Amino acid sequence: MAANKSHVQVRFFTKSAYSVPSTPFAVPADVGTKELSALINSILQDGSEETAHVDFDFLINGEFLRITLSKHLEAKDLSTEETLMVEYMQRHPSPKPEDTMLHNDWVSCVRGSNSGILSGCYDNTIHIWTKTGNEMTLRMTFPGHTSPVKAVEWINTDDTPISTFISGSHDQTILMWSWNSETGTVDCINVCRGHAGSVDCLAVNLSKTMFSSGSWDGRLKLWSAELTSNGDVNDEEDESMETPKKKKKTDGKSRQTRVPMLTLEGHTEGVSGMEWLDNSTVCTVSWDHTIRLWDMNEAKQKSLLPGSKVFLDMSYSKLNCQVLTASADRHVRLWDPRSSEGSVVKCTFTSHNGWVSSVDWSKENENHFISGSYDKIMKMWDTRSPKVPLFEMSGHDEKILCVDWSLPTLMLSGGADNHLKSFQYNSSS
């Protein structure tokens, strides 16, 4: 029988409110998601003309249908003779371009929070933005570092006017900042010194008491996140950093030099990404093609996962306990750091046409993440669709250097075109 005349017995099911009878339906084998969506809608309407059309997506054995039904069954070596269980769900709406924030140089890092959005720039400055409605407002721009800013992270963003954050730079230092949103002032409290190369990544532990840093020198360092003087602080004032000239009030405070609590070695090239998996374990990725897990309490390396290419970034999900890596071979890979046998690479996501520079998990959906690439595109993925991203977000004229999805409804990307772009996402749909 010709392929276009063959049929497959399908039984539909869903976790949504759009329920159809569980009886099997005979559907043509050459249909795709468009035709299946039309079928579900026709069943739901059942003669009613008032029911609004809904776009659906379809899962077969946990993977999205992205080709015709017959080709999918052939690729997965599934029988056409048996009744096929197909889950359907409402398709997620496309993220909408919202705003573009111009900088004077490359936007190399960005991190969102309820307090505001931090962006770091190659002109040595840090920017603080706040969101009102659909517009982003620049609250402050201030210098501090003497070389490009490579990493920014919030420490404390409680519901108070004063927030704290850190910044790492090519100048080999980490600065610890206090920002008062009511008075519009920012103070640099501590200067962290110890690295012998560019500080390219930072991560704050879950209890907000410590943070780690990774550098081009291949070392991982641990620091106290407290902005008050303690045993690891040198009481001498640091005079080497640039003094902010605009909207800045120091009140005569000295910028005390802080030294690391711990230094760990193991990577043979620069550390490009890191995150805390729990309050004692840090995961790092490096240009040396490895992923490493570190026990910060025991001050030692716990395990090493070998890769095949340079790692440029990583992201850890607290929802599914898995790690994403961005690589120079154009792929995003999903790892299970808990795996002790078999392949720890659980899935490979292939769509970008250039180095993947940055990845970030959704904080609300365990299946969703975004990636940014030198191909100038930011993509939204679902782990159940490894070959085709859910959406592509264009707009950058040069390579993307960083992405962030810290805020559930806001996707951010910074690039070498001096732009920070925001996309609105309706996560509740």
Which tens digit of pLDDT belongs to each residue from 275-300?
Answer: 999 999 999 999 999 999 999 999 99
pLDDT at 420 over 70: yes
Strand, coil or helix: 37:
helix
The domains found in the chain, sorted by start residue, are: 3-90 (3.10.20.90), 96-424 (2.130.10.10)
Q: Which pLDDT does position 253 carry in this prediction?
A: 52
pLDDT tens for residues 190-225?
999 999 999 999 999 999 999 999 999 999 999 999
Reported as a single tens digit per residue, the pLDDT across 369-386 is 999 999 999 999 999 999
CA 93, 353, 336, 86 torsion: positive or negative? Answer: positive
What's the length of the chain?
429
In the predicted structure, residue 237 carries a pLDDT above the cut 50: no
More confident residue, 338 or 393: 393
- The phi, psi pair for 4, rounded to 5°, reads -75, -5
30 pLDDT higher than 70: yes
* Residue 188 and residue 253 in contact, taking contact as beta carbons nearer than 8 Å: no
CA dihedral sign of residues 8, 13, 16, 20: positive
Residue for token digits 């760990």?
A: 264
Are β-strands 63-64 and 162-169 bridged in parallel, bridged antiparallel, or unpaired?
Answer: unpaired
* pLDDT score at 342: 57
Indicate whether this model's pTM tops 0.95. no
Contact 89, 117 (CB under 8 A): no
Q: Residues 147-184: pLDDT tens digits? A: 999 999 999 988 788 999 999 999 999 999 999 999 99
- Residue 343 pLDDT > 70: no
Hey, is 412 helix, strand or coil? strand
**Percent of the chain topping pLDDT 90:** 76
| pLDDT at residue 1 in the model | 35
pLDDT of residue 111: 98
CA distances from 64 to 21, 127, 315, 325, 338 (A): 21, 39, 23, 22, 26
412: exposed, middle or buried (Cβ count in 10 Å: 0-12, 13-18, 19+): buried
Q: Is residue 246 predicted with pLDDT exceeding 80?
A: no
Q: Is residue 359 packed enough to be buried (19+ CB in 10 Å), middle (13-18) or exposed (0-12)?
A: buried
Question: Model confidence over 69-112: pLDDT tens digits?
Answer: 999 999 989 888 889 999 999 998 899 999 999 999 999 999 99
Contacts with 149 (C-beta within 8 Å, 6 or more apart), sequence order: 108, 109, 120, 121, 122, 124, 125, 126, 167, 168, 169, 170
Supply the pLDDT for residue 86: 95
Residue type present at position 194:
G
For the chain, the maximum distance between any two Cα atoms, rounded to a whole number of angstroms, is 86
Residues 313 and 307: their CA atoms lie apart, in Å, by: 13
Quickly list DSSP for 208-276. SSEEEEEETTS-EEEEE---S--TTEEEEEP--SPPP-SS---TT---EEE--SEEE---SS-EEEEEE
